[in-house]
Chain A
Amino acid sequence: MEFAELIKTPRVDGVVLHRPFLPTVEGTLCLTGHHLILSSRQDNTEELWLLHSNIDSIEKRFVGSLGSIIVKCKDLRVIQLDIPGMEECLNIASSIEALSTLDSVSLMYPFFYRPMFEVIEDGWNSFLPEDAFKDLESMTDEWRLSEVNKDFSVCPSYPPLVAVPKDIDDETLRKVATFRHGGRFPVLSYYHKKNGMVMMRAGQPLTGTNGRRCKEDEKLINATLRPGKRGYIIDTRTINVAQQAKARGGGIESEANYPQWRRIHKAIERSNVLQESLIKLVEACNDQSHNMDRWLSKLEASNWQTHVKEILTTACLAAQCIDREGASVLVHGTEGTDTTLQVTSLAQIILDPSCRTIRGFQGLVEREWLQAGHPFQQRCAQSAYSNSKPRQEAPVFLLFLDCVWQILRQFPCSFEFSESYLVLLFEHAYASQFGTFLGNSAAERAKLSLPEKTVSLWSWVNRHQEIERLTNPLFEANSLVIWPSVAPQSLLLWEGVFLRWNRSSKCLDEAYEEMVHIIEYNKELQNKVNSLRRQLAQLETEDPLLQTP
């Protein structure tokens, strides 16, 4: 067994675990193929179970023969293990390093994990494109489900089934795919029931320096316009970046060829810049020696909040075009797998109440992120502590979750889920026992046979106990469009993620409990009132004496 070779010392006694704001625990440290386990072997004390894949980096320190390993996790937690014995310490450290950086996906824990709960509903089948399309069909007949990509040959990052305008045949789609980055021809992302407007997404057009055009592409996106109406193309790059892309074969939709469309450029940062931003932010949050000025200047220098504002602003713009201007929208950046998805998914949170439910949000993540080909495995391979040079890592999904949290903060009663749901998704996107976020596209997931070999996160979440834990007690269905404020004064640092391990949350948790208590008490009273009313009403009907003479 391969893992056994990597584990030089499987067990050490007398290890002391230090965690911020929690008492230290002394116990036995065990390494398994996928976990680091610390158990005090006493009742009532917590055991630590840490997935190796959750470990972002480790540091070793020695004082005499006492070694310490500082474990920095992808969920931003930092813990310290004091290990007696230099050799043991070195062995443990090198084992952890090896086990946390396994290259092969098929060695990941989800392939070994067996659920300890009864799977009532298989999450792998919960959000099939054909089901989503049925809902669409009930609203409009202008779209069809195309199988042109069923073997992933037209667009490797698209799912086998995509929704396209009804009048566009598969042959046209194949041609359009050659004109769009990564073969990502324009597909339907969202249909706004209120006015029939749509949001589409795609990769950039491959116009190149000589201004190549593609009649089929024009035909496709024009097919989504109502007669006499104009649409908006939201390009998530600045005009300069977009122009420069021409030199590498990319480009923009020129006004001459797309006269019915107005192009708007909005700058959203991507890739390396975001990863650096995350690293700087986490560094600022973890340094407790800062004075006020230094903290604020570090926070500013990280630019994280700027990214949040940029993304939210662009999403609001897209939503505004659809809802207020009554226009259709096409969103793309370069590849159409990162910034594009942030915008299209957030716009749906703003516009569509069903995306603000627990299940609806899963559907959104499934549709707009997993099926839409956001390369989770590449983006989430490292988090803020990794020492290795970032390759394709970027906290694109975390930024999306942060933006959702900002909207949740501003509309605390309009979401069925609470903050912990967002935190949970963040954790599982980076390290998980479930297969949901493995792979980079539908094609890769199919190749890995994830639905057959692993358990879906949704199977676990959609159980009564979990749903209850993630439900927002303040939720009151709100069927309206919710417009968040994007003023810097309205946007906050997401403490639940970035300060989660740096503060004691006891006081806040207790206040939350109190809130839940107030809400439950209120409900209980209402129930009692109702039952008494019923009782009285019953007495009344049963005794004619009490009827009005």
Chain B
Amino acid sequence: MCLQVEQVRLLDRFSNKSTNGTLYLTATHLIFVESSSNNLTSTSHSLVGNISKLSLTTTGCPLVIQCRNFRVVHFVVQRERDCHDIYSSLLRLLRPVSYEELYAFSYNPKQNDQQREEGWQLIDLGAEFERMGVPCDQWQLTDVNRDYKVCETYPRDLYVPITASKPIIVGSSKFRSKGRFPVLTYFYQEKKAAVCRCSQPLSGFSARCLEDESMLQAISKANHNSRFVYVMDTRPKLNALANRAAGKGYENEDNYSNIRFQFVGIENIHVMRTSLQKLLEVIGTRSLSMGDYLEGLESSGWLRHIKAIVDAAIFLAKAVTVEGASVLVHCSDGWDRTAQVCSLGALLMDPYYRTIKGFMVLIEKDWISFGHKFADRCDQLDGDPKEVSPIFTQFLECVWQLSEQFPQAFEFSEWFLLQIHEHVHSCQYGNFLGNNQRQREELQLRERTHSLWAYLLSEKQNYLNPFYSPAYCEAHPVLEPSTLPYHFKFWRNMYHQFDRSMHPRQSILKTILTLRENSHKRFCTLIELLCLLTLVLLFFQRLHQLGVTPLTTSDPPAHPPTRDQRTNSNSLPPRPDSLILGAPVNHKDVQGQDDEDEQDEVGEEAVESTDMERTVEGSSGTESRKQSYGELEGTYNNELAKEEPAVVSLEFGVARMTC
């Protein structure tokens, strides 16, 4: 099925500019092709959040589509009937009833089964726990949830204190909301302190559970550094109190020995959803005044919530790294705020999670495997709108806020975060489909869809932070961010990602990345030239040995070379002048120059050329980048860089001479 409507105008959200083009509606995407430039904008249906038809105007029928990646497109369709067709078709396609209809099940990046399988094997959580030093003398792997019998929203493999017997686990799980009993999520090897997570206890006003108390006791005993365990309830106290009336609640310090109980006050999913809505409403206003912007930023509460999450994560990291205490984190069900705080806390403590691969592992562990309800929160299927909430977006934003304070601590740039955010909502890859591991297994996602991580790793070059310094991370393994309010900024590149007119016209990140690439290319050229030079010198030497030509350049041969010598020189494979003048890298340098020129034009035709830049930041620009590396890439590595270039070139030269 494909719907095609000609003569559609795409309006810019903040200016009066518009472009004409053709709109295509396919089974999976909405595609707009500009007629003047053939520029193509496509949006997968899963990314479409909201669609509304405005009242007819003289120029046509306006259609506003709000996407989950914060793109807002405003079309004007000439004929009302066409507009209605698009509208109703989109509505039908928007939220499928079953997972099988999502894009991931039809997406085919031309990989064979083996490649796909390898993609899914990239992240191995068993190996991750081993990296942390688990299992160990205090912590063990339990098979209690092998068949998802104890807790169906947890993964199969769970780590618990060795003293926690099966009856204790089962007993504790019955006393916890949704059966989510305390399990290990991060182990801080240096102090043998653990970060555990669970859901709220079903304590009501007075209920208690001896197994649950033993469970916490076991966690406490597993850490010899501290006499007590922190229990962090990430909810505001009021919410926790209200939960008591429903037979839920929080731990009573009198019943649990050796715990220190602490509320940290992160609001619930409904508050967060409304907050983001308010924020988007404010920043979507045309000709917004500075006063309204700042006031809106404040009244939306968005940055306040972000700060609350970071504050909680800092509390967690300090308790573990400074006091050496173990911490148990929970909220209500233990899959939203708990995921935010545990993952962010671990990111502060462990530099590994600040690398590209490590960040994937972190998301896989604390979000995917522990059952953050991606399907519900991101509205993948036609579900309850009250379940939708930007919890994961907040996590990504917290990471971004940290990366602003510590520009050298992260291996990835914000483009990586933006790309993950995009694909959490695009439903193009299987990773984030469904609400928990059990569901994913039922859907056979590993067999039927592709993994995002494989794709992102194949594009790693694009997501590198040029300022990243492993040495910095070694010197500062634990990040200690400041959470003074002015350190939290509005993340323009997320919420206005597609509003080009708002962005800096020249990007430092992009410039530096280009420079780094140039350096790489120049290094290759350097090696190549050194080879060539050696080659030429060797050739001279050879001639000299044959007694034909003197090597001295100051004394050129008085007579023209003989025929024999000419043949000799002809037999030489590379012709130096052609290599010098036509060296591929030389050509690339010129290309680089072009790029820069293009960038300069940004000033004049700001909107048009930033368009191009933005696409590079997204994904499509990567191909050209990869191509320009050429065949030399294989020979380049860091070891080579440290070696004496002369040696390398000599070998190369000899090889050429013999062939």
Q: Which residues on A are within 8 Å of B, measured CB to CB?
A: 285, 288, 290-297, 299-300, 303, 305-306, 308-309, 409-414, 474, 476, 478-485, 487-493, 495, 499, 502-504, 507-508, 510-511, 514-515, 518-519, 521-522, 525-526, 528-529, 532-533, 535-540, 542-549
Q: Do B580 and A536 have beta carbons less than 8 Å apart?
A: yes
Check A412 against B566 for contact (C-beta < 8 Å): no
Interchain CA distance A485-B499 in the complex, whole Å: 11
Contact B556 A542 (CB under 8 A): yes
Q: Across the interface, which residues of A come within 8 angstroms of B511, CB to CB?
A: 412-413, 474
Tell me the nearest residue of chain B to A480, going by C-beta.
Answer: B603
Q: Which residues of B contact A548 (CB under 8 A)?
A: 575, 577
- CB of B532 within 8 A of chain A? yes
Q: Could you write out 9 A-B pairs with CB less than 8 Å apart? A: A296-B303, A300-B291, A485-B505, A489-B496, A510-B472, A522-B522, A529-B525, A540-B577, A543-B556
Q: A297-B298, A532-B529, A545-B569 are in contact. List 14 more A-B contacts (CB 8 A).
A: A290-B484, A292-B488, A296-B298, A299-B294, A300-B290, A409-B504, A410-B506, A411-B506, A480-B604, A482-B603, A489-B283, A489-B496, A518-B512, A543-B553
In the complex, residue of chain B having the shortest beta-carbon distance to the beta carbon of A300? B294
Contact B406 A507 (CB under 8 A): yes
* B interface SS class: helix
Binding stretch for chain A, among B129-137, B238-246, B594-602:
B594-602
Contacts of A532 in B (CB 8 A): 526, 529-530, 533
B620 within 8 A of A: no
Given that A290-B485, A300-B291, A478-B600 are contacting pairs, would A545 and B561 also be in contact in the complex, using a CB cutoff of 8 Å?
yes
Judge whether A503 and B407 touch: CB under 8 Å: no
- Enumerate the 10 nearest inter-chain pairs by beta-carbon distance, A residue then B residue, closest first: A295-B485, A488-B293, A511-B407, A480-B603, A300-B294, A296-B298, A525-B522, A292-B304, A482-B603, A532-B529
Is the beta-carbon distance between B502 and A490 smaller than 8 angstroms?
Answer: yes
The yes or no answer to B477 lying at the interface (CB within 8 A) is no
Which residues of A sit under 8 angstroms from B304, Cβ to Cβ?
291-293
Contacts of B58 in A (CB 8 A): none
Interface segment, one of B178-186, B200-208, B513-521: B513-521
Shortest CB distance A488–B (Å): 4
CA distance A299 to B291 in the complex (A): 9
Q: How far is the CA of A300 from the CA of B304 in the complex (A)?
A: 16
* Given known contacts A414-B603, A499-B486, A511-B467, A296 and B294 CB-to-CB distance under 8 angstroms: yes
Q: Indicate whether B543 reaches chain A with its CB closer than 8 angstroms.
A: yes
> Contacts A490-B502, A515-B467; is A508 near B407 (CB within 8 Å)?
yes
For A476, give its contact among B307, B569, B600 (CB under 8 Å): B600
Contact yes or no, A489 B515, CB < 8 A: no
Whether B455 is near chain A, meaning CB under 8 Å from some CB there, is no
Cα distance, A508 to B405, chains bound together (Å): 7
A518 to B485: give the CA distance in the assembly, Å. Answer: 32
CA distance A546 to B565 in the complex (A): 11
Using a CB–CB cutoff of 8 Å, the interface residues on chain B facing chain A are 14, 283, 288-295, 297-298, 301, 303-304, 307, 405-409, 466-467, 469, 472, 482, 484-490, 492, 496, 501-508, 511-512, 515-516, 518-519, 522-523, 525-526, 529-530, 532-533, 536, 540, 543, 549, 553, 556-557, 560-561, 565-566, 569-570, 575-577, 580, 585, 596, 599-604, 606
Partner of B501, one of A294, A487, A522, A528: A487
Contact assessment for B516 and A518 in the assembled complex, using a CB-CB cutoff below 8 Å: yes
Residues of B within 8 A of A409 (CB): 504
Give A492's nearest chain B residue, CB to CB. Answer: B489
Knowing A507-B407, A529-B522, say if A305 contacts B303 (CB, 8 Å).
no
| B290 adjacent to A306 (CB under 8 Å) | yes
Contact: B506 with A306, CB < 8 Å? no
A521 to B517, CA, bound (A): 12
Contact between A536 and B533, CB atoms less than 8 A apart: yes
B408 touches A285 (CB 8 A): no
Of all chain A residues, the one with the shortest Cβ separation from B406 is A507
Q: Is the CB of B502 within 8 A of A296?
A: no
Minimum CB distance partner of A521 in chain B: B519
Evaluate whether A306 and B289 lie within 8 angstroms (CB atoms) in the complex, with A510-B472, A536-B536 already known: yes
CB of A141, distance to nearest CB on chain B (Å)? 29
In whole angstroms, how far apart are the Cα atoms of A528 and B496 in the complex?
A: 42
Query: A480–B608 Cα gap in the complex (Å)?
Result: 15
CB distance from B34 to the nearest CB of A (A): 22
Write the nearest CB–CB distance from B354 to chain A, whole angstroms.
13
CB proximity of A404 to chain B, nearest CB, Å: 15
Report if A411-B504 is in contact (Cβ < 8 Å); known contacts: A487-B288, A511-B467, A549-B570.
yes
Closest Cβ neighbor of A482 among chain B residues: B603
Set of chain B residues within 8 Å of A536, measured between Cβ atoms: 529, 532-533, 536, 576, 580
Check A411 against B603 for contact (C-beta < 8 Å).
yes
Residues from chain A with a CB closer than 8 A to the CB of B298 are 292-293, 296-297, 300
Whether B526 and A528, one on each chain, are in contact in the complex, defined by CB atoms closer than 8 angstroms, is yes
Please name all residues of chain A whose beta carbon is closer than 8 Å to the beta carbon of B580 when the two chains form the complex.
Answer: 533, 536-537, 540
